[in-house]
Amino acid sequence: MAKPNTFIIGAPKCGTTALATYLSEHPNAFVCRPKEPEFWADEFDQSKFLGLCSLVQYEGLFDRVKSQHKVIVDASTGYLWSRTAIAKILEYAPAARFIVMLRNPVELAPALHMELALLGEDDILDFEEAWRSQSARANGQRIPESCPASAQLLYGQVAMLGSQLQRLRRIVPESQLHIIFLDDFRLNPRACYLGTLNFLQLEDDGRTDFPVTNAARAVRAGWLNRLLLQPPRVLRPAVMSVRHTCWRLGLHGIRQKLVSRFLQKPQARRTLRPELILELKNAFRDDVRLLSEVVGRDLSGWL
């Protein structure tokens, strides 16, 4: 049975979906569906929300891998902030390659909140209120049942990319690590894509089209969106069975497109109050400086 050898580990809302999509269309790369199984992150309740309770079930996500697929990808953005995932992956696949995508945390935190609110995993719809609720949530309060990992609601911790990358570099050899900044990815996606192919030792497939994926969205039909994405406990087994059938038949992408088209709509992110932006900059200031040191790049413009 095929095993993943490449992991796009985060950070969330940093372009990982776009990169995974581009790689999935390369003739020599395979990206599992769902894109983010989060199997190796202990912080996620796998059996309840993802239905992956064993290594056999996890590796079953890769049973459609063909002989031409040199690169086999698990693109789970929870692995970067997880305290356990990377060590477990290296034990499972010592030669695994890791791709990290980074973004200004002042942008990342509200973008992640908007995504989780859309998915029904955060029931506090206003980012500022969610930001103020982090202390309560760290103590186990105000956690919606539909959230598979309460730690991801601590937006300040999830966006602390400096400390996460520092921890990552302590255990992952440099030759197995590739870093991409979303700023660069937006400015020149072709160059970043070629750099990734070079890291993965894949030939250029000639891609020149890099459409935006996973852009900001809002709910069009709230109750139906929640029913399909975060079903009630009594309906969850049936919904998960349908999802697994879609994955097995290669229809997961079609299901996602239908949900996106009929239940969600494009929507720009709300502008934050200047006072809140300043608060976020101050909250992330030391960590951005640490990230600058870890990657050897001046990120003072973020602040």
Length of the chain: 303
pTM for the whole structure = 0.87
State how far the Cα of 44 lies from the Cα of 78, in Å rounded to an integer: 8
* Token code pair at residue 56: 């056999």
pLDDT surpassing 70 at residue 257? no
* Token code pair at residue 251: 């229809």
Average pLDDT over residues 52-72: 93
Q: What is the pLDDT of residues 93-103, one digit of tens each?
A: 999 999 999 99
Q: Which is more confidently placed, 43 or 234?
A: 43
Q: Please classify residue 68 by burial: count the beta carbons closer than 10 Å to its beta carbon, then call 0-12 exposed, 13-18 middle and 19+ buried.
A: exposed
Residue 7's closest CA among 63, 68, 62?
A: 62
Q: Mean pLDDT across the chain, nearest whole number?
A: 88
> What is the model's pLDDT at position 45?
76
Cis peptide before 87 (omega within 30 of 0): no
State how far the Cα of 28 lies from the Cα of 3, in Å rounded to an integer: 15
State how far the Cα of 191 lies from the Cα of 207, in Å rounded to an integer: 11
> What is the model's pLDDT at position 78?
95
State how far the Cα of 159 lies from the Cα of 156, in Å rounded to an integer: 5
Average pLDDT over residues 35-47: 85
**Residue 219: CA count within 13 A, CB half-sphere:** 19
Provide the residue type at 48 as one letter: K
Fold of 6-216+268-297: Rossmann fold (3.40.50)
Please state the domain extents for the chain. Answer: 6-216+268-297
State how far the Cα of 138 lies from the Cα of 153, in Å rounded to an integer: 9
- If pLDDT is split at 50, 70 and 90, which confidence band does 118 have? confident
- If pLDDT is split at 50, 70 and 90, which confidence band does 230 have? low
Q: What is the pLDDT of residues 197-226, one digit of tens each?
A: 999 999 999 999 999 876 665 665 555 666
> What is the model's pLDDT at position 265?
64
| Cβ-Cβ contacts under 8 Å for 32 (sequence gap 6 or more) | 4, 61, 62, 72, 73, 74, 75
Q: Which is more confidently placed, 246 or 153?
A: 153
> What is the model's pLDDT at position 222?
59
